[in-house]
Amino acid sequence: MKNYLSFETDIKNLETELDKLKDPYNKEEGISEVDTSKISKTQNELNSKLKEIYSNLDPWQITLVARHEDRPKSKYFIDNLFEDFISLSGDRYYGEDKSVLAGFAKFNGSSVLVIGQEKGDNLESRIERNFGMMRPEGYRKTIRLMQLANKFNIPIISFIDTPGAYPGVGAEERGQAEAIARSIENCMQLTVPTIAIVIGEGGSGGAIALASSSKVIMLENAIYSVISPEGCATILWRDPKKMLDAAKAMKLSAKDLLELKVIDEIIPEPVGGAHRDKDKILENVKDSIQKNLNIFNQMTREEIFEQRKSKFLKIGRDKGFMDNSTELSSLNENKDNNVNNLLSNLKSSKKIQIGLGVLVISVIIALAFIL
């Protein structure tokens, strides 16, 4: 049974009609000949309607597509893009987190570490996978495996699909925020290529913990944001129904984030979303991964580290006070010069010294009266 979104009513009607035309034993009209010309006409109408709708999606509709029940999940990509995948479990501190798959595999004959946040594809698996919301032990597991991959110079490929890190009491007691921070820190220190692909939702720190990568890539209808549109609307307007306004303001679509240079690449999806042609999206994702791995194969480990560091430091700079990498690299030097100049001025100005002396004496007298 196909699942349709709220704005896909016309698509649903056309596909229902098409199915009836293709079935010579449909219940309404009994046995009848298949009308190929009518089938062709309806198929063309369906294709046109899909293009019309999906070429004009607003940010909230993109959010709905990113959350679509039938959208391919991390496990689907791992099973179909990689060979000899060996799943590894546990953080060596507390236990296993089934909301994230991680292990070593072969990609086009080369060893890679694969990490995938997994939501599950039915009610039972979604509960087991905690709807893709990772716990501290999940982040610590990925940190352990990323460090192992770094030791043996193995590239890391991550599939991001989570509404956010799990906010439960137990997770907080076991150090959720610390685990996320450690994961981000670990990602930034790696000297191997890291590629993060947002395939559905990229929610808040739960996503950033694995997406602090050399290349951050998004599927065309994926989203990546610090909070959900509903959460943003609730905080700003105390009305979760204003999620469309929130989605527009948050710039969470792949197109907006590429323009802001938060991400590096958009992988095109089949018309109607990735779930309508899974073979095509597999091909597109595979090509993107191979293309980016080829780029990093030409770089030294030191260059890979510097590229990632520079990339993240540059985010937002061209929209603000700093325009180029030369200014960026001299930022710390300028800060040191400013501090030295301030100290020099303090030493050379007698008026400032006298003023500071009076201030200190006044504070001492005031404390003496209080005590």
If DSSP codes are grouped into helix, strand and coil, which group holds residue 160?
Answer: strand
Q: How confident is the model at residue 321 (pLDDT cuts 50, 70, 90)?
A: very low
Q: Nearest to residue 172, comparing CAs of 208, 136, 132?
A: 136
Query: Residue type at 75?
Result: K
CA angle (115 as vertex; 63, 139 as ends), nearest 5: 90
What is the pLDDT of the chain when averaged over all its residues?
88
Q: What is the pLDDT of residues 323-347, one digit of tens each?
A: 555 555 555 555 556 666 666 665 6
Alpha-carbon gap, residue 152 to 325, rounded angstroms: 31
> In this model, does residue 360 exceed pLDDT 50?
yes
Quote the pTM value. 0.82
Supply the DSSP symbol for 320: T
> In this model, does residue 320 exceed pLDDT 60?
no
Of 1.10.10.10, 3.90.226.10, 3.30.310.80, 3.40.50.1950, the CATH number of 65-319 is 3.90.226.10
User: Quick one: pLDDT at residue 123?
Assistant: 92
Q: pLDDT over 90 for what percent of the chain?
A: 68
User: Quick one: pLDDT at residue 369?
Assistant: 66
